[in-house]
Structure 1
Amino acid sequence: MKRFNWFIAYAIVFIGVTAQAQDFQGNAVYQSKTQVNFDFGNRNIPEDRKKSMMERMKKANEKTFVLTFDKTASFYKEEEKLEQPGEGGGGRGPRFGAMAGTDGDLYKNIKDQRYLIKNELLGKIFLIDDELEALDWKMGSESKKIGSYTAFKATATKTIKRPNMSAIFRRPGRGEENKEEENKEEEFTIKEVEIVAWYTPEVPINQGPGLYWGLPGLILAVNDDVTTIVCSEITMNPSEKIEIKAPSKGKKVTQAEYDEISREKMKEMRENFRNRGGRGGGRPN
């Protein structure tokens, strides 16, 4: 990786953002991969089936997104892909992102510092409406090439809440059956992680994939402890004017309200699974 003078980088960023952002709009394609660590616990499952399940979960968490942006707003949407013959229904069942409220259509408005996510959770449409979190980015001096763009490093600390799918699909040990209320967050794991982002002032907007934003240039790559998102293609100022619309359909809730609804749904799934003795259905995709 190259080293770059921080003051020069900041000057480039400042000039680019103030002079050019007014007319910028475009599309950026991102590839997202999330590591899947699933604990099968004491379930008596053949090794070949475990391997097949892990492969399906891995594939379900490798996604392509398109970020459509202008100077103040963006729309982030997963590209739909057809299931290939022989994949064995890997796309069915509850998904990690749906439980976390991050799988749906995402609208960010930087000017208002708010976001909207239209998300489907087990057959019901929700519209999450909340305030964007402003991370305390630390600007680094490192730079590297991502595609044809020069990107600079920034880091921040963020508390991330993720669904604990292993808790749903494991059998309770002896004496655990009546301990559900002792740990209400069993359905989620909460962890403080370092976010590493790479942004480019050559696209002078402070947008990025997912809920990431706030850097003086488009975020081209971002990594937390399990998810890596990398931009693979950018189209600037397309001939056809871009219109970015916020999603409007669904039951409007805050992020905290959605998290509680998701927690209850996960608890219900766990109870249903355990009542069946851990057999059939409820596959963790």
Structure 2
Amino acid sequence: MYKVIFTLVLALASFMGLHAQEFQGMAVYESKTSTSDFKTRMEGNKNMAPDMQKMIEERMKKMFEKTFILNFNKSASIYKEEEKLDASAQAGGGMRMMSSMTGGGGTYYKNVKEKSYTIDKEFMGKEFLIKDSLPNLQWKMEGETRVIGGYTCYKATAVKAPSATDFRNFRPKREEAKKEEDKKESDKPAAEKKTNFLDAVELPKEITITAWYTPEIPVNQGPEGYWGLPGLILEVNDGKTIILCSKVVLNPKEKGEIKPSTKGKVISQKEYDEAVVKKMEEFREMNQGRGGDGGMQIRFGG
């Protein structure tokens, strides 16, 4: 009897400590996006030289495999890519643009109490400070469980519209669209044929998100813009990108600063998306026939 009471008191103390004002945690996430379908698409592009295909594959691998650190407390969090040498620093304009659209760069601050977020992001030489309301995903609780890093996790799913400013959301064009495009290109003179990599992809109307969260860490947080579940989200899978937690430290000796950035031009998510999409279209038009990695740089004015 005394043993049961002691166990309950210990559990309650841990729970209360987790919800104390000074509580803080740190989680490491490994983000990996599959590029196999893009590789297949490039191999079928007769207009792209083999050495260009190999170079793009190597750069994509580096861009789509990243490590992030999430520092969180009971009301806010800040998510940032682990600092390392910028593998795309010497890349051409096209690759620099895609690298800035694969989840890295800047910091992602979420305040779940105020239901707001702030992202500082550099795009094509200009700094932006995106401020907006957190997306309210309609999570559906599933019955499955699994263990991740020693924590019992529960499955939840949601459907959302993908962002056009995150290149990880793009998929290779459907086979029908690909055949139609290839037929049009085959009738053109060699000098006019399109080899821009952006012409090989399209944005789906919606994507299904699968998340695994643990009530054992009862904070309303997760990687990137994910939140809204009764426990820390340890894994997110959108069918193409997997973000998996590899390490969790509760109440670390050295606490990270959890504050939003203040640098950059303040802009809403919608305004930022519109500006980026516009530059993508400019890039597409200005780099036709350059093999998808033209050296031309496009910068925001002002």
8 A Cα contact 1:27 1:66, kept in partner: yes
8 A Cα contact 2:81 2:104, kept in partner: no
* Separation of aligned partners in 2, 1:267 and 1:259: 12
Distance change >3 Å, CA 152–CA 17, structure 1 → 2 = farther
Distance change >3 Å, CA 103–CA 224, structure 1 → 2 = farther
* Separation of aligned partners in 1, 2:78 and 2:61: 25
* Separation of aligned partners in 2, 1:57 and 1:96: 9
Counterpart amino acid of residue 248 in structure 1? T
Distance change >3 Å, CA 27–CA 17, structure 1 → 2 = same
Distance change >3 Å, CA 57–CA 100, structure 1 → 2 = closer
* Separation of aligned partners in 2, 1:219 and 1:91: 36
CA offset digits 1:182-234 (Å, max 9, x no partner): xxxx9962431111100011111010000000000000001002110000011
* Separation of aligned partners in 1, 2:15 and 2:151: 16
1:201 corresponds, among 208, 215, 222, to: 215
What is the CA distance between 1:54 and its match in structure 2? 1.3
What is the CA distance between 1:257 and its match in structure 2? 0.4
* Separation of aligned partners in 2, 1:102 and 1:131: 20
Q: Please say which of residues 17-26 and 52-61 is displaced more in the overlay.
A: 17-26
8 A Cα contact 2:214 2:233, kept in partner: yes
**CA RMSD of superposed structures (Å):** 3.4
TM-score by length of 1: 0.77
1:22 corresponds, among 20, 36, 43, to: 20
Matched, 1:44 2:58: no
8 A Cα contact 1:130 1:254, kept in partner: yes
Counterpart amino acid of residue 128 in structure 1? I
What is the CA distance between 1:267 and its match in structure 2? 1.4
| Structure 2 match to 1:158 | 160
Larger Cα-atom Rg: 2
What is the CA distance between 1:22 and its match in structure 2? 3.1
Identify the structure with the greater helix proportion.
2
8 A Cα contact 1:60 1:91, kept in partner: no
Q: Please say which of residues 263-272 and 211-220 is displaced more in the overlay.
A: 263-272
Sequence identity, in percent? 48
CA offset digits 1:30-89 (Å, max 9, x no partner): 0001123434475622334313311220221100000000110000000122268xx995
| Structure 2 match to 1:64 | 67
Q: Secondary structure of 1:120's match?
A: strand
Identify the structure with the greater strand proportion.
1
Q: Which runs of 5 or more residues in structure 1 are unaligned?
A: 1-14, 176-185
1:74 corresponds, among 73, 77, 82, to: 77
* Separation of aligned partners in 2, 1:154 and 1:279: 39
* Separation of aligned partners in 2, 1:157 and 1:277: 35
8 A Cα contact 1:60 1:90, kept in partner: no
Q: Please say which of residues 50-59 and 69-78 is displaced more in the overlay.
A: 50-59
8 A Cα contact 2:222 2:232, kept in partner: yes
Q: Which runs of 5 or more residues in structure 2 are unaligned?
A: 1-12, 174-180, 189-199, 298-302
| Structure 2 match to 1:267 | 281
Counterpart amino acid of residue 253 in structure 1? I
Matched, 1:227 2:226: no
The number of equivalent residue pairs is 256
| Structure 1 match to 2:30 | 31
Distance change >3 Å, CA 275–CA 189, structure 1 → 2 = same
Matched, 1:239 2:292: no
Matched, 1:254 2:256: no
| Structure 1 match to 2:196 | none
Distance change >3 Å, CA 277–CA 204, structure 1 → 2 = closer
Distance change >3 Å, CA 166–CA 98, structure 1 → 2 = farther
What is the CA distance between 1:132 and its match in structure 2? 0.4
